[in-house]
Chains A and B, each alone.
Chain A
Amino acid sequence: MISYTFDNTLDGLLTAVFEAFALHEQPEQLLSAGDQIPLFCDRNYQVVTDEEKAGRVWKGLEKRLPKEVIRMLYVSWLSELPELNNALFHYICKVFRQPEGAPGIERNFADPDVLAVTNIARKVLHEQLRMKQFIRFQKAKDGTYLAVVAPDHNVLPLITDHFRDRFNDQPWLIYDAKRHYGYYYEGSGVPARITFADESAITFSLSDGRLDDDVLSSEDHLLQELWRTYFKAICIRERMNPRKQLNDMPRRYWKYITEKQEPRRNS
């Protein structure tokens, strides 16, 4: 059995595909750096990430696959799931091994790799939708709207376009507390990726996403209270269904959701 080891980047994975074809072999397993090499492995090849090789593979994919499928592959990569590596690697190899003119493998969902990648991409898209649903902004004194999230998959790059389109006249910051980076939009232009050099000095809490009292805008107390009131009033008590609520709004999102947070002490 042959195995390849790569550095856990998309470019690395694409380079691995390039090497497999350059060396005329099909490795059974793609390991990420630091993984234990399996017992019955004849040979392990260390892939050195090369942007040019990766770019050539990506271009080749763009030639062979429809646009939606290319996007699907990119989306699946954002999942950051370890089980994606092998499936995506084999999927891409299969695309290049296909004879010219054969029906596109991307529609054969009986193929385990195609199905796995498709399902993972679907999961990421679901998470992305949930961010659009559950992001809650608070307004700071300087007029910036802040939201803190901790999504399971790295979906921030997928949602910035939506929020830029929707709130194009207000400056906002969406911060991923798990991956320690965020996107800041000034009120015009393109959202920029930012990180804080010193996370302990920032004016909001990463554990519940709340802005510190001295930077929160004055009307926000009342507005958050109004929203909580609305949230309680809209429920029909005769139809209580906490199970459905949990299904659609799992508890892991609650800590950043305004209506599920306790009101502030001093308001």
Chain B
Amino acid sequence: MLSDLTLEKLRILTESAKYDVSCSSSGTVRKGKQGMVGNTVGGIGICHSFADDGRCISLLKIMLTNYCMYDCAYCVNRRSNDIKRATLSVSELEEITIEFYRRNYIEGLFLSSGVVRNPDYTMERLTAIVRDLRLVHRFNGYIHLKAIPGASQELLSEAGRYADRMSVNIEIPREESLKLLAPEKDHRSVFQPMKLIQQGVIENKEDRQRYRHAPRFVPAGQSTQMIVGATKDSDRDILTMSSMLYNQPSMRRVYYSGYVSVNTFDSRLPVLKQPPLVRENRLYQADWLLRFYHFKVEEIVDDMHPNLDLDIDPKLSWALRHPEAFPVDINTADYEMLLRVPGIGNKSAWLIANSRRFNRLTSFDLKKMGVVMKKAKYFITCHELASAFDQTSVIGINELRPERLRPLLITNEQKKLAEAEKQLSFDFEP
């Protein structure tokens, strides 16, 4: 039963779980069923609230327990950290989940746990909870379950039948850095469960082709996260890893988490007053380019530019490095090329591709459709009678040269934020 004691436990276990950034409730559509509570909507998912730090609250993100036998330097729950510890009882956790869900507070549950005794023991308890939720409480909402590295295949494949999404966090993109911060872990222990889950997904796909009603296995695929700024790994390391992961069929999302100093002093870690938020943001932008804009990772970062430009977004950065690709003619260019123009996003590219079959588009039309002309005007030509009057539309990237264009496209605010963050990284050198 829930009581006032639950309040304190909920607080402690939420604070322990909050550094895991995954929040999405997307990836699977499941209709409501008679006698069960809940459904999942797929598409973009539903965020039910936004915390004071601006992050969305979609799932009840909580740990079963924050006792942990590992001592990973980047983690708030490391063994040697002096924080309050707590464990929720199974019935408490289930009741909170169901009652929150019925009040439309959440889309479902994101359950994780510190590793106690051994991986199998921990995974078994997690599996028992999701099994209970589905079979006893008839819960049909979204469940995101952490896979515990080192747990046996049988447990993972049972858990996968009840969970919508499972995840194992890579945390550190390069193994050397991981070894430094978490000597008890290596990449193999992370990739092993990932591979098992993927195998399950692929086998399940074949089964479902044969038997339409075969139960689904992790229908929303996997996700993972990498910590940004806790080690010296470059953006290139991070993005190469992401792109490799996205090539696997079951991987849906890679999250990036700007490192927050959660622990008392540890000489292996940088001292940061502020998490590297601008860098994190740039990584997400690059991630979007990989997933929705047909970019390849080598186009975003390379040997010459191992790190993303903090002042400008990666798409603009690519455009400035490739003046030969511009100007793009709005009325004839391929859809792929439209997507590469700074200031044109998915939505406006779609609107343009549809509308230009009727009449030639002018910059007025583009503005109306939501193209950011402040940026785009240097990279495009369109049907323009007014060009004689409107001088700006003929001065493009090739007339101005990239190095003179660049400062025009950075706002003061962006510059200030980026400057502040560059200052931070000075503290980093050990």
Number of interface residues of B (CB under 8 A): 59
Interface string of A147-169 (1 = CB under 8 A from B): 10000000000000010111111
Whether the pair B102, A219 counts as a contact (CB closer than 8 A) is no
Cβ distance B9 to chain A, nearest Cβ, rounded Å: 10
Whether the pair A108, B358 counts as a contact (CB closer than 8 A) is yes
The complex places the Cα of A110 from the Cα of B261 at a distance, in Å, of 50
Which residues from chain B contact A244 at a C-beta distance below 8 Å?
50, 54
Cβ distance A176 to chain B, nearest Cβ, rounded Å: 16
Whether the pair B39, A245 counts as a contact (CB closer than 8 A) is no
The complex places the Cα of A167 from the Cα of B39 at a distance, in Å, of 8
For B40, the closest partner residue in chain A by CB is A166
Whether the pair A139, B103 counts as a contact (CB closer than 8 A) is yes
Which residues from chain B contact A239 at a C-beta distance below 8 Å?
53-55, 258, 260, 275, 277
Cβ distance A39 to chain B, nearest Cβ, rounded Å: 28
The complex places the Cα of A3 from the Cα of B249 at a distance, in Å, of 59
Which residues from chain A contact B39 at a C-beta distance below 8 Å?
165-166
Number of interface residues of A (CB under 8 A): 57
Cβ distance A99 to chain B, nearest Cβ, rounded Å: 13
User: Given A167-B37, A229-B7, A236-B53, do A136 and B18 touch, yes or no (CB 8 Å)?
Assistant: no
Chain A's interface: helix, strand, loop or mixed, by majority?
Answer: helix
The complex places the Cα of A135 from the Cα of B47 at a distance, in Å, of 11
Cβ distance B142 to chain A, nearest Cβ, rounded Å: 11
A233 within 8 A of B: yes
Cβ distance A198 to chain B, nearest Cβ, rounded Å: 28
Whether the pair B11, A233 counts as a contact (CB closer than 8 A) is yes
Interface string of A190-215 (1 = CB under 8 A from B): 00000000000000000000000000
Whether the pair B10, A242 counts as a contact (CB closer than 8 A) is no
The complex places the Cα of A169 from the Cα of B36 at a distance, in Å, of 7
Which residues from chain B contact A223 at a C-beta distance below 8 Å?
2, 99-100, 103
Identify the stretch in B183-191, B210-218, B240-248, B361-369 within 8 Å (CB) of chain A at 4 or more residues.
B361-369
The complex places the Cα of A61 from the Cα of B394 at a distance, in Å, of 43
B123 within 8 A of A: no
Among A107, A112, A129, A136, the residue within 8 A (CB) of B46 is: A129
Which residues from chain B contact A133 at a C-beta distance below 8 Å?
46-49
Interface string of B275-287 (1 = CB under 8 A from A): 1010000000000
The complex places the Cα of A226 from the Cα of B267 at a distance, in Å, of 38
Give B8-53 interface residues, CB cut-off 8 Å to A. 10-11, 14-15, 18-19, 31-39, 41, 46-53
Whether the pair B18, A245 counts as a contact (CB closer than 8 A) is no
Cβ distance A167 to chain B, nearest Cβ, rounded Å: 7
Whether the pair B368, A115 counts as a contact (CB closer than 8 A) is yes
Which residues from chain A contact B54 at a C-beta distance below 8 Å?
239, 241-245, 247-248
User: Given A237-B53, A239-B54, do A169 and B35 touch, yes or no (CB 8 Å)?
Assistant: yes
A65 within 8 A of B: no
A170 within 8 A of B: yes
Whether the pair B102, A137 counts as a contact (CB closer than 8 A) is yes
Cβ distance B259 to chain A, nearest Cβ, rounded Å: 10
Among B49, B52, B356, the residue within 8 A (CB) of A240 is: B52
A238 within 8 A of B: yes
Identify the stretch in B56-64, B157-165, B230-238, B319-327 within 8 Å (CB) of chain A at 4 or more residues.
B56-64
Which residues from chain B contact A167 at a C-beta distance below 8 Å?
37-38, 102
Whether the pair A230, B60 counts as a contact (CB closer than 8 A) is yes
Which residues from chain A contact B351 at a C-beta distance below 8 Å?
109
The complex places the Cα of A93 from the Cα of B354 at a distance, in Å, of 21
Which residues from chain B contact A232 at a C-beta distance below 8 Å?
11
The complex places the Cα of A162 from the Cα of B31 at a distance, in Å, of 10
Which residues from chain A contact B19 at a C-beta distance below 8 Å?
236
A189 within 8 A of B: no
Interface string of B98-111 (1 = CB under 8 A from A): 01101111000000
Whether the pair B14, A230 counts as a contact (CB closer than 8 A) is yes
Which residues from chain A contact B275 at a C-beta distance below 8 Å?
238-239
The complex places the Cα of A110 from the Cα of B3 at a distance, in Å, of 60
A145 within 8 A of B: yes
Cβ distance B369 to chain A, nearest Cβ, rounded Å: 6
Q: Residues on A close to B: CB < 8 A?
A: 103, 105, 107-112, 115, 129, 132-139, 145, 147, 162, 164-170, 219, 222-223, 225-227, 229-245, 247-249, 257-259
11 A-B pairs in the complex with CB atoms less than 8 angstroms apart: A105-B358, A110-B368, A137-B102, A137-B104, A145-B102, A166-B32, A166-B39, A222-B2, A226-B6, A239-B258, A259-B49
Q: Residues on B close to A: CB < 8 A?
A: 2-4, 6-7, 10-11, 14-15, 18-19, 31-39, 41, 46-57, 60-61, 96, 99-100, 102-105, 258, 260-261, 274-275, 277, 351, 354-359, 361, 365, 368-369
**Told that A107-B358, A235-B51, A239-B275 touch, could you supply 12 new A-B pairs with CB distance under 8 A?**
A103-B357, A136-B103, A165-B32, A168-B32, A222-B3, A231-B51, A233-B10, A233-B14, A234-B14, A234-B18, A242-B52, A245-B53
Closest 7 CB pairs of A and B: A244-B54, A241-B54, A233-B14, A165-B32, A235-B51, A108-B358, A239-B53
